[in-house]
Amino acid sequence: MATRSTIMDTNSFRAEHADALDSDTRKLTDKRSKVLGESYRLFYRRPVHLVRGEGQYLWDAAGEKYLDVYNNVASIGHCHPAVTEAVQQQMSMLNTHTRYLHERILDYTDELLTTLPTEIDRAMYMCTGSEANDLAIRVARAYSGGTGIIVSQEAYHGTSDLTSGASPALGSGQALAATTRLVLSPDRYRVEAPDLGEWFAREIQKQIDDMAAHGIKFAGFLADSIFSSDGVLPGPKGFLQPAIDVVHRNGGIFIADEVQPGFARTGEAFWGFARHGVVPDIVTTGKPMGNGIPVSGLLAKSHVLSAFSDAIPYFNTFGGNPVAMAAAQAVLTVIKQEQLQEHSRVVGAALLAELRTLMDKYECIGDVRGAGLFIGFELVKDRESKTPDKALALDLTEQLRERRVLTSVAGPYGNVLKLRPPLAFQQHDIDWLVGALDASLAALIS
pLDDT per residue over 316-326, tens digit each? 999 999 999 99
More confident residue, 37 or 144: 144
Extract long-range pairs of 158-166: CB within 8 Å, 24+ residues apart: 158/128, 158/129, 158/130, 158/131, 158/133, 158/134, 159/130, 160/130, 160/131, 160/133, 160/134, 161/134, 162/133, 162/134, 162/137, 162/138, 163/130, 163/133, 163/134, 163/137, 166/133, 166/137, 166/222
Domain boundaries, the chain: 48-78+340-445, 81-338
Query: Among 3-7, 77-81, 190-194, 413-417, where is mean pLDDT lowest?
Result: 3-7
Instruction: Over range 56-74, report the average pLDDT.
Output: 97
In the DSSP assignment, the letter for residue 100 is S
For the chain, state the CA radius of gyration: 21
Residue 1: pLDDT over 70: no
**DSSP labels for 9-31?**
HTT---GGGGGGS-HHHHHHHHH
Question: Which pTM was predicted?
Answer: 0.95
Mean pLDDT across the chain: 95
For the domain covering 81-338, report its CATH number: 3.40.640.10
304 with 283: CB under 8 angstroms?
no
Instruction: Give the pLDDT score at 43.
Output: 87
Residue 426: pLDDT over 90: yes
Q: Work out whether the CA dihedral 401, 403, 407, 408 comes out positive or negative.
A: negative
Instruction: Count other Cβ atoms within 10 Å, centred on residue 92.
Output: 9
CA max distance for the chain: 64
d(CA 231, CA 187): 8
pLDDT digits (tens, 9 = 90+) for 287-299: 999 999 999 999 9
Q: Superfamily for 48-78+340-445?
A: Aspartate Aminotransferase, domain 1 (3.90.1150.10)
* Neighbouring residues of 138: CB distance < 8 A, sequence distance ≥ 6: 162, 308
239 with 186: CB under 8 angstroms?
yes
116 with 109: CB under 8 angstroms?
no
d(CA 422, CA 378): 21
Residue 282: pLDDT over 90: yes
Query: Among 37-41, 61-65, 262-266, 371-375, where is mean pLDDT lowest?
Result: 37-41
135 with 299: CB under 8 angstroms?
no
Report the Cα 142 to chain-centroid distance in Å: 26
pLDDT digits (tens, 9 = 90+) for 339-387: 999 999 999 999 999 999 999 999 999 999 999 999 999 999 999 999 9
pLDDT digits (tens, 9 = 90+) for 394-404: 999 999 999 99
Instruction: Give the pLDDT score at 3.
Output: 40
* Neighbouring residues of 83: CB distance < 8 A, sequence distance ≥ 6: 76, 290, 291, 293, 327, 330, 331, 334
406 with 68: CB under 8 angstroms?
yes
Phi, psi of 138 (to 5 degrees): -60, -40
- Determine whether 126 is exposed, middle or buried from the number of CB atoms within 10 Å of its CB (0-12, 13-18, 19+): buried
Instruction: Give the pLDDT score at 41.
Output: 82
Angle 233-181-223 (CA atoms, 0-180°, nearest 5)?
35
d(CA 203, CA 208): 9
pLDDT digits (tens, 9 = 90+) for 12-60: 777 677 778 888 888 887 888 888 877 888 888 889 899 999 999 999 9
Instruction: Over range 126-153, report the average pLDDT.
Output: 98
Instruction: Give the pLDDT score at 446.
Output: 75
Residue 88: pLDDT over 90: yes
Instruction: Give the pLDDT score at 173.
Output: 82
219 with 252: CB under 8 angstroms?
yes
